[in-house]
Amino acid sequence: MSVIVLCAGGHARVVIEALLSRGIRPAAVIDRDAARVGEAIGGVPIRGSDDNVMKTAVDTVELANGLGNRASRTNSGLSGRRALFGRFAAMGYKFPVIAHAAAVIASDVQLGDGAQVMAGAVIQPAARIGQNVLVNTRAVVEHDCVVGDHAHVAPGAVLCGGVSIGESVHIGAGAVVLVGVKVGAGAVVAAGAVVTRDVAAGGFAGNE
């Protein structure tokens, strides 16, 4: 079954590389910017917009979410990525788990549809990773952690044992969330922060 990558930005390059590491070459990338049709990203051609995907039968193609996010103090920036996943999933399209060959994932880890685990990331035993979650480059998710749907654990971030992360949470690059801490849905943890106590839904932890 062929794979199409949604969106032709920087994150799409990382997704393509993860797929290639598993011997999977995407058939195409699609992007809303019609001016980019005919270009290539990561050696994969950009072939059109969302409409091109919807002309393809749901049982003949799988999709990979190539949309990244930019968080701010008040917004995780994950609504677009979540909406893109939800739109196509509602139409019956499937999003496979994508795990780079250089990621380390314990044998009993649960990975939701469309979860992405990038190069150098480590996910330890009994962790549960939700749908459309991004565990980015060299991030660490320790034992017994729960990561809610559509969350992003950014490059180099560390979730210590038993951490609970709500839906659409952004954990910034290099942040550390200590053992047993709970981070509520939609919250933002700043890059480099050390989180020692629970963070309320929609809240912020860090100095930036």
Annotation marks residue 152 as catalytic: no
| Residues 124 and 179 sit within 8 Å (Cβ to Cβ) | no
CB 77 within 8 A of CB 169: no
Structural tokens at position 145: 């952690």
Number of helices (H) and strands (E) in the chain: give both, helices first.
3, 23
- Closest residue by Cα to residue 41 from 70, 69, 19: 19
Looking up tokens 């809240």, which residue turns up? 203
Choice among 100, 143, 152, 170 that is catalytic: 143
The one-letter amino acid at 109: V
Position 25: which residue type?
R
The radius of gyration computed from the CA coordinates of the chain, to the nearest angstrom, equals 17
**Amino acid identity of 115?**
A
Annotated catalytic residues are: 143
